[in-house]
Amino acid sequence: MFKNTILGLTTAALLMTAGTAAAADYKIDKEGQHAFVQFRIKHLGYSWLYGSFKDFDGGFTYDQADPSKDKVNVTINTGSVDTNHAERDKHLRSADFLNAGKFPQATFTSTGVTKNGDALNVDGNLTLNGVTKPVKLEAKLTGEGKDPWGGERAGFEATGKFALKDFNIKSDLGPASQEVELIISVEGVRQ
């Protein structure tokens, strides 16, 4: 009986503290290739063109109990764009698109996070091509827990989209190609 009482109290204490975990800071695990910043845009309305940025860094703060404490900060080196086609990548780095020579970095800084069912709405400011505009991402927790090396990790997938012209990208790719979609998958190591 005494063992059952202790076990019950311990379980209750764990359950009560699980929901009140404090906000924790995570560094995006880019060295282990456990993070991806990808995009897609329609090509002439016939197919999707996919690409990614190979060089980026950042982190996030995550509080399961209180999303208002969550934060995201990411810096992307625009010259690292890769669509698996060297000539196209060179064109994307030019002033026609990303203008990587003049604006070598793009940044996303969250301004607020709210819970929406199983998802998190992440509002933030995207700075790209010298222009800063609000962008909304929808993020979902992929998983969290201990890793084999004694650390703790949390992973998210986020999606969003924005209009090219909002960021002073004047190249017209046709009516079906006015917006770019973002697909972001990150795994963070708790600091």
Residues 50, 31: Cα–Cα separation, whole Å:
22
pLDDT at residue 16, rounded to an integer: 41
**Tokens 């827990």 found at:** 145
Residues 58, 37: Cα–Cα separation, whole Å:
12
pTM for this predicted structure? 0.85
Digit-coded pLDDT (tens) for 81-103: 999 999 999 999 999 999 999 99
Residue 172 has pLDDT above 60, yes or no: yes
Residue 7 has pLDDT above 50, yes or no: no
Q: Supply the mean pLDDT for the chain.
A: 90
Cβ within 8 Å of residue 19, ≥6 positions away: 64, 65
Residues 153, 144: Cα–Cα separation, whole Å:
5
Share of the chain above pLDDT 90, in %: 82
Share of the chain above pLDDT 70, in %: 89
The 3-state DSSP class for residue 121 equals strand
Residue 179 DSSP label? E
In what helix (H) or strand (E) does residue 5 lie, and over which residues does it extend? helix 2-18
CB 71 within 8 A of CB 60: yes
User: Partners of 4 in the beta sheet?
Assistant: none
Digit-coded pLDDT (tens) for 106-137: 999 999 999 999 999 999 999 999 999 999 99
Q: What is the largest CA-CA distance in the chain?
A: 75
Mean pLDDT, to the nearest integer, of 39-45?
Answer: 94
pLDDT at residue 22, rounded to an integer: 83
Strands 56-62, 47-53: pairing is: unpaired
Residues 138, 144: Cα–Cα separation, whole Å:
18
Cβ within 8 Å of residue 174, ≥6 positions away: 44, 45
Work out the pLDDT band at 154, boundaries 50, 70, 90: very high
Work out the pLDDT band at 56, boundaries 50, 70, 90: very high
